[in-house]
Amino acid sequence: MDYIREFDIQLDKEHYYAGEKIEGTVILNTIDNFKLRTIRVILRGKAHVEWKVMLSGERRTVKDDQYFIDDRQVIWGEKNITTTIPILPRGVHKFPFRFSLPESSLPCSFESKPCCIRYYIKVTVDIPYASPPEGVKYFTIIGPHIDCMEEQYLKPQVQEDRKSTCCWCCKRGTLSLRCVLERSAYVCRESLKLKATIDNQSDEEVSLRVRLEQCCEFFIDRGVLGVGKELKHLVFEYRGSQVKPNTRTKWDSSNSLVMPPMPTTLVGICRLAQIYYVLTVSLDSSKEADLVHVTFPITIATVPFRIPNSNRFPSVKYEHAAAHVEGGQYIGPEFLLGQVYDGNEHNNREPVVLYKPVYVTVEKNEDATPQASHTRRPSHIPDHLVASK
C-alpha cells in the first residue's frame, strides 16, 4: 500500500521449545490516515509432503499436510465490526502479541525437497476495499523433547558378531567383533562413546569401519497402502588401521567420532515423516566388505548429557544442519533472496538465505566428561525440559 512505509513482524527470539511463550510485535509505519478493520495474527505449525509419482502411466503430484498448531488472535479492531470502521492515524505503530506453545511434543523444524515442517507467524492487515497486506515470520521449534539422561539411553549396549572359515569348535580362522556403545543418545557436536574388540584369527588383514547413516521415511495416505519415499545419507564414516592375522586389538572412539549438526530423531510424532539414525560397525578385508558387522540405533536428542548429581550444564548453542544430510541440503525458493544479474561476473553474488532451521549443539571441544569444562544451564533452555537426575 502506498501509505504503509514499513510492515514488519518481530519476535523476541528465533527458536523456541514446546511450552514456551512466543512474544512479538507487529510494526506499521504509515504516512497517512486510513481505515483499518482488523489486524489478525495466526500462529501455525504444519508438515507438508509432496513429490511426483507415476500413476496409470501419468506423472502426477501427490501431497498431504498435518497441522500441529493453529492459533489466532485479533490485535487491532473487533472480530465483527457492525459500526463505523476505525481509522489508524499516521505514524509508527507497534502492536504486541503473545502465544503459548502447546506442552505436547512438537516435531523439529525441518526442510527438505519432499517434506518440510514449518512454524510461522502470519499477520493480515485487513483494509476495506483493498487487497489486505500479509506478512509471514518463520521461526524454529527445537523438538521433540529428548533428554540424553533418560534411563533408556544410558544403558550400555553390547553387540557381537563372528565369522569362521572352519567348524565352530575350532578357533582357527575365526574373525570376531565385539562392540560396546556406552550410551545411545547424543546431542550434535558430542563425541560418540564406542569401544570395539577385534580378534582376527583369520589368514588376512582386516580393518575397522564405523559409519553413521541417516534414514528418512516420508508417507502420504493415499489409497489402501499409501505412498512412501525413503532417503538415506551417510553422516560420517571412520576407517581404522589394518589388523594383522592372528592378532587381537582394542579400539576406543575417544573424541574421534563427533556428531555433526543434523535434525533431531523424529519417530512416532509426525504421521508424514520419520527420521532416525543407525550406527554400523564392521570389519572389512581387501577382498570383501562387512565380513562381520553389528548395528546400533542412535538417537539425536535435544537435551545434552550431564554428569550425574552435578549442577553444571554443557554450554549449548544452535546451528544449521550439515549440508550433506537431509535437512541441511535443501533451501526452499521462498527463503532465497536472489541477486539480479547485471552482466558483471564480480557482481553475481550468492543468494541471501532468509530462513533456515537450527538444531541444538554443544560447544566444540566440550563434552560431558569429568575432565570437560562446563557452564551452568543456559537460560534459554526451559526449566521444565531438564529433568533432575
Based on the fold, state whether residues 64 and 161 are members of the same structural domain.
no
Rg (CA), the chain: 27
Based on the fold, state whether residues 279 and 156 are members of the same structural domain.
yes
**Residue 55 amino acid letter:** L
Cβ count within 10 A of residue 281: 24
- What CATH number is attached to the domain comprising 75? 2.60.40.640
In this prediction, residue 129 carries a pLDDT of 83
**Predicted confidence (pLDDT) per residue in 302-357, tens digit:** 999 988 777 778 899 999 999 999 999 999 999 988 655 555 655 566 778 999 99
As for how many domains the chain has, the answer is 3
Based on the fold, state whether residues 110 and 163 are members of the same structural domain.
no
pTM of this prediction?
0.87
Mark the ranges of the chain whose per-residue pLDDT is less than 70. 1, 79-82, 165-172, 223-225, 338-349, 364-389
**Predicted confidence (pLDDT) per residue in 91-109, tens digit:** 999 999 999 999 989 999 9
d(Cα 191, Cα 186) in Å, to the nearest integer? Answer: 8
Based on the fold, state whether residues 124 and 158 are members of the same structural domain.
no
d(Cα 190, Cα 377) in Å, to the nearest integer? Answer: 16
In this prediction, residue 172 carries a pLDDT of 57
For the chain, the maximum distance between any two Cα atoms, rounded to a whole number of angstroms, is: 95
Q: Report whether 236 contacts 212 (CB < 8 A).
A: yes
**C-alpha closest to that of 369 among 259, 261, 254, 257:** 254
Based on the fold, state whether residues 365 and 349 are members of the same structural domain.
no
In this prediction, residue 386 carries a pLDDT of 59
d(Cα 137, Cα 43) in Å, to the nearest integer? Answer: 10
Parent domain of 29: 4-142
Based on the fold, state whether residues 368 and 353 are members of the same structural domain.
no
Tell me, yes or no, whether 177 lies in a domain.
yes
Cell of 28: 506499521
Based on the fold, state whether residues 229 and 329 are members of the same structural domain.
no
Tell me, yes or no, whether 75 lies in a domain.
yes
Based on the fold, state whether residues 193 and 293 are members of the same structural domain.
yes
In this prediction, residue 10 carries a pLDDT of 96
Based on the fold, state whether residues 66 and 167 are members of the same structural domain.
no
Please report, in angstroms and rounded to a whole number, the separation of the first and last CA atoms in the chain: 56
Based on the fold, state whether residues 230 and 376 are members of the same structural domain.
yes
Tell me, yes or no, whether 313 lies in a domain.
no
Based on the fold, state whether residues 354 and 303 are members of the same structural domain.
no
Q: Are strands 157-164 and 174-181 parallel, antiparallel or unpaired?
A: antiparallel
In this prediction, residue 232 carries a pLDDT of 97
Based on the fold, state whether residues 326 and 273 are members of the same structural domain.
no
